[in-house]
């Protein structure tokens, strides 16, 4: 992807406009919508059956996993990752992962494990079936939703990060609905008449100890390959396909290791040993996802720097220290946190809002050019700075 500033001949060509994710004239939109609705019907029917048997578990599970989803959402928002797309993109990605992908993955996994039992042995299917079936079906299905979203609104995806965050949301949707399903099933088969303990146990084991290196991480890794394919049209088709397949293979391998019985012989059945095993298995996925996110953040920063330098040169809108941090979400977060400690909660809120308005100004200017459509962001940045500077000056 070329991140160089446009020359004079390109000045009118850079702003390209942005497709909405509501595209009723595109087949990909209706395919995604139909599969999500179909998955919604299946999921409601499944949980309705569980509600009749373990109503407390279902209701408490919905609350717990809803809060779990909100925590991820707030983490993404704190790093300004949700500025990549409008809210409907993340709603569709989450819905695809939790409804569309889960609907197809459940019967496909059963079929593959049954085939493994017939072709190899029931013992092999019991031990290795999840490792064989899960990565094949689930990674493919989650990534299919990312591809469908790209087909719906191609020019929404201008950077690696814009693809990765949609992949992470699709993986998160799959993870949350799968965990809720496991929670309800565990309660229905729990030896004691306790509908709360299965919720807490699954939250600990599948949410807290597994959540950071589970489906969201796998789909983000696989999505990096899609971004590579999408954003490098100048490269040979074979190289683009190889990059996409390599990232998918990496996500598949991480998922395979997670589902496999590898290393289990070295740990006993205690909760502490199980927790340690989950952490050890998850470290490779966390490292891989972290490295790819780092690459994506740097590329996104270069893209934002180019846009800001060209479209928003005014230093009163984006100062030098703010400009250099455009590609560093963690640095921007640290600045907000440090400002809160030094000047109070109001200063932190103002800085947070100003950073987001700056990002929106840059992205909207890069999409549509400067003009009336960006004026509200310019006014917001100046107003927030006028409120923030006296607070900093008064306490310096």
Q: CA angle, corner 59, sides to 57 and 62, nearest 5?
A: 100
Q: What is the mean pLDDT of residues 96-112?
A: 93
For residue 14, which of 372, 369, 306 has the smallest C-alpha distance? 369
Query: Using the 8-state DSSP alphabet, how is residue 6 labeled?
Result: P
Task: Answer whether residue 10 shows pLDDT above 80.
Answer: no
Q: What is the mean pLDDT of residues 75-100?
A: 89
Task: Answer whether residue 9 shows pLDDT above 70.
Answer: no
Higher pLDDT, 164 or 283: 164
pLDDT at 231: 92
pLDDT at 268: 79
Q: What is the mean pLDDT of residues 83-99?
A: 92
Q: CA angle, corner 226, sides to 222 and 229, nearest 5?
A: 140
Q: Decide if 220 contacts 168 (C-beta within 8 A).
A: yes
pLDDT band at 357 (very low <50, low <70, confident <90, very high): very high
Highest mean pLDDT among 145-154, 324-333, 387-396: 145-154
Q: Decide if 177 contacts 312 (C-beta within 8 A).
A: no
CA 289 to chain centre: 11
Q: How far is CA 111 from CA 106, 169, 273, in A?
A: 9, 27, 32
Q: Decide if 100 contacts 38 (C-beta within 8 A).
A: yes
Q: What average pLDDT is seen over the chain? A: 88
Q: How far is CA 117 from CA 110, 114, 122, 132, 252, in A?
A: 11, 5, 4, 12, 21
Tens digit of pLDDT for each residue in 173-221?
999 999 999 899 888 877 667 788 888 888 888 888 787 778 999 999 9
Residue 242, classed as helix, strand or coil, is: helix
Tens digit of pLDDT for each residue in 229-264?
999 999 999 999 999 999 999 999 999 998 998 888
pLDDT band at 16 (very low <50, low <70, confident <90, very high): low
Task: Answer whether residue 13 shows pLDDT above 60.
Answer: no
Q: What is the mean pLDDT of residues 127-136?
A: 92
Q: CA 163, CA 35: separation in Å to the nearest integer?
A: 21
Phi and psi for 313 in degrees, rounded to 5?
-80, -15
Task: Answer whether residue 282 shows pLDDT above 50.
Answer: yes
Phi and psi for 131 in degrees, rounded to 5?
-70, -30
Q: CA 87, CA 341: separation in Å to the nearest integer?
A: 31
pTM above threshold 0.85 = yes
pLDDT band at 6 (very low <50, low <70, confident <90, very high): very low
pLDDT at 15: 59
Q: Which two tokens stand for residue 121?
A: 């042995």
Q: What is the mean pLDDT of residues 134-157?
A: 94
Q: Decide if 240 contacts 229 (C-beta within 8 A).
A: yes
pLDDT at 301: 86
Higher pLDDT, 173 or 396: 173
Q: Which long-range contacts (CB under 8 A, 24 or more apart) does 74-82 make?
A: 76/165, 76/168, 76/169, 78/333, 79/329, 79/330, 79/332, 79/333, 80/329, 80/332, 80/355, 80/356, 80/359, 81/161, 81/165, 81/329, 82/165
């Amino acid at each position: 992807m070329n991140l160089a500033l446009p020359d004079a001949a390109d000045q009118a060509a850079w702003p390209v406009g942005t497709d909405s994710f509501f595209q009723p004239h595109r087949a990909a939109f209706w395919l995604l919508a139909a599969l999500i609705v179909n998955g919604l019907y299946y999921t409601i029917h499944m949980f309705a059956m569980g509600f009749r048997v373990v109503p407390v578990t279902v209701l408490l599970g919905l609350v717990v996993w809803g809060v779990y989803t909100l925590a991820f959402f707030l983490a993404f928002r704190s790093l300004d990752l949700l500025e990549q797309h409008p809210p409907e993109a993340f709603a569709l990605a989450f819905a695809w992962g939790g409804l569309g992908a889960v609907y197809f993955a459940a019967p496909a996994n059963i079929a593959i494990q049954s085939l493994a039992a017939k072709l190899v042995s029931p013992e092999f299917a019991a031990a290795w079936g999840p490792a064989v079936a899960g990565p094949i079906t689930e990674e493919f299905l989650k990534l299919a939703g990312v591809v469908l979203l790209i087909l719906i609104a191609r020019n929404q995806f201008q950077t690696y990060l814009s693809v990765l965050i949609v992949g992470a949301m699709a993986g998160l949707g799959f993870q949350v609905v799968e965990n809720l399903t496991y929670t309800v099933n565990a309660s229905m088969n729990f030896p004691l008449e306790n509908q709360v303990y299965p919720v807490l146990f699954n939250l600990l084991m599948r949410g807290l100890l597994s959540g950071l290196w589970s489906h969201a991480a796998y789909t983000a890794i696989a999505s990096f390959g899609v971004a590579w394919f999408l954003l490098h049209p100048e490269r040979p088709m074979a190289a683009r396909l190889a990059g996409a397949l390599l990232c998918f293979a990496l996500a598949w391998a991480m998922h395979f290791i997670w589902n496999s019985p590898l290393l289990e012989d070295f740990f006993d059945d205690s909760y502490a040993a199980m927790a340690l095993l989950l952490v050890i298995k998850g470290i490779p996925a966390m490292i891989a996802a972290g490295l790819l996110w780092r690459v994506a953040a740097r590329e996104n920063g270069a893209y934002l720097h180019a846009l800001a330098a060209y479209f928003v040169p005014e230093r009163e809108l984006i100062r030098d220290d703010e400009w250099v941090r455009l590609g560093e979400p963690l640095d921007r977060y640290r600045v907000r946190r440090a400002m809160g400690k030094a000047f109070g909660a109001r200063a932190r809120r103002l800085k947070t809002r100003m950073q987001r308005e700056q990002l929106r100004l840059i992205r909207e200017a890069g999409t549509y050019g400067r003009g009336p459509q960006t004026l509200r962001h310019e006014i917001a940045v100046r107003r927030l700075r006028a409120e923030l500077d006296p607070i900093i000056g008064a306490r310096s």
